[in-house]
Amino acid sequence: MYMEAYKRWMETELEDAALTAELNSIEGNEEEIKDRFAVALKFGTAGLRGVLGAGTNRMNIYVVRQATQGLANWVKTQGGNQLVAISYDSRINSDVFAKEAAKVLAANGIKVRIYDALMPVPALSFATRYYEANAGIMVTASHNPAKYNGYKAYGPDGCQMTDEAADIVYAEIQKTDILEGAKMMSFEEGMEAGLIEYVGDDCKEALYDAIKARSVRPGLCKTAGLKLVYSPLNGSGLVPVMRILNDIGIDDITIVPEQQYPDGNFPTCPYPNPEIFEALRLGLELAVKEGADLMLATDPDADRVGIAMKCPDGTYELVSGNEVGALLLDYICASRIEKGTMPERAVAVKSLVSTPLADAIAAHYGVEMRNVLTGFKWIGDQIAQLEAAGEVDRFIFGFEESYGYLAGPYVRDKDAVIGSMLICEMAAYYRSIGSSLKQRMEEIYAEYGRYLNKTDSYEFPGLSGMDKMAGIMADLRQNPPAAIGEYKVTKVTDYKNTEETGLPAANVLVYDLEGGAQAIVRPSGTEPKIKTYFTTLGKDLAEAQAQKDALAAALAPLFA
């Protein structure tokens, strides 16, 4: 089958000369042909993601057109405005893929609102809601290496698409011939017909206003004298993050020059992920040189933000997503109570793999903490439930350990722009009272105990990788461990069992251990990886780390 597909692509006059050249270069190499054509990229709730190149198992204009025709078929059944919002980041071909999607939608008689320049995930989520669109498309592969791109699909609520909708779209994609099945119209024709329009300044300004409205201590940053180093990691964060920080009064900002402007090759950080030290290395060097209070970096689609904070001895410490989540929750709660802006029966939401320290902080401030499945759409779902009940103002903060934060219901995905604003405001506040982020973090640990949260990943590359992962998860269910190392398992929660959890089914296993530690095992939804999340609690960091190391060593053989 894959040889036939390859032959057909070879015989077709492709519009992209680079794809033709790639196909010619692999002629006679069965392994390379198989890798590109044996399977098609699967469309799921996270849309599509894959390596750029020729074939059904790659990201290219034909895969994007086919996916968009499938999406168009679904939109046509939805009534409403018959409109789709589109945005894109700095990745290779992101702008090309965004326009290809617009052309297919327009040819199907569906209106398009597309950004006239790259804008991040939160801007797409906002535009989808602002224009009351049926769907949204964000062209990005988030924090994957440069050779990847992707296509995230959003529902009318501005959340990533539901399983049910994604299944229908995928079925429609499979009915669409990849090379000829998508309806097409030129971008210019679409503009002339009034089917394609650029997102207006009214929408852009409304987003900025909505973000600034969530400031907890308005006006504070104008006088606090915060000194910041910022890196957009060659992504889409530069314009919106700088606009918001300048608007709230932070103007002592040094941008990492090598990472300032959009560049899908990510020349200085092969893995443009703010969780990884290497991506922040240039920023940290600049922070030391500048004596900055804080170093901040957003990922290419600017939905996640990572930081390094200055310590009393002048060194800088990377702060984990869990620690930033705990700091922000503590800051928002304490400040809103002090200012009298805390809503009654306030709600915070986090993913179940994020730190239990946040549950303890929420309880301290009398805030209800809701734990949901991994994936920010489940946090968005909780906001939607509050909105449906007319209680959306109860939502004060949501986060997940992978550096995703949101305060406010104006979008339904993580937002590095508001994350950056609140982190800087929080740092400016502690600076203004003679404290620091580092000092506050130590105070939190002194009050609640020394929590340590660490994540390990095991990769399973190649076509057989997914099967291996499925086998490991099945084995863990059939033969649940009675202990992990020296730590007795006191409870196993299987999130496939919806009756037990009260949440939608998910491929997640949680092991509660004697002494309060926890281990969680789940396959990644977007990459061929199994992730293990460890939470340990010690009297100090050394004790918590030793416990984590023992647990990780005991689990590792299962993933060999």
**Cα 9 versus chain centre, distance:** 34
CA distances from 265 to 90, 116, 259, 270, 526 (A): 9, 21, 11, 8, 21
The catalytically annotated residue of 142, 354, 402, 436 is 142
* 142 tagged catalytic: yes
Query: What Å distances lie between residue 209 and 133, 212, 213, 411, CA to CA?
Result: 20, 5, 6, 13
Which residue type, as a one-letter code, is found at position 158? G
CA distances from 241 to 134, 298, 420, 423 (A): 27, 9, 7, 12
User: How far, CA to CA in Å, does 278 sit from each of 251, 269, 392, 441, 457?
Assistant: 26, 7, 39, 24, 17
Residues near 83 by beta carbon (within 8 Å), at least 6 away in sequence: 110, 111, 112, 113, 131, 132, 133, 134
Cβ atoms of 330 and 435 within 8 Å: the answer is no
DSSP string, 296-343: EEE-TTSS-EEEEEE-TTS-EEEE-HHHHHHHHHHHHHHHHHHHT-PP
Unique residue bearing structure tokens 């409870």: 491
Continuous segment of H or E residues that includes residue 137: strand 135-139
Give how far the C-alpha of residue 452 lies from the chain's centroid of Cα atoms, to the nearest Å.
22
| DSSP conformation letters of 482-511 | SEETTEEEEEEEETT-HHHHSS---S-EEE
- Number of residues that make up the chain: 560
Identity at 533, one-letter amino acid code: Y
The set of catalytic residues is 142
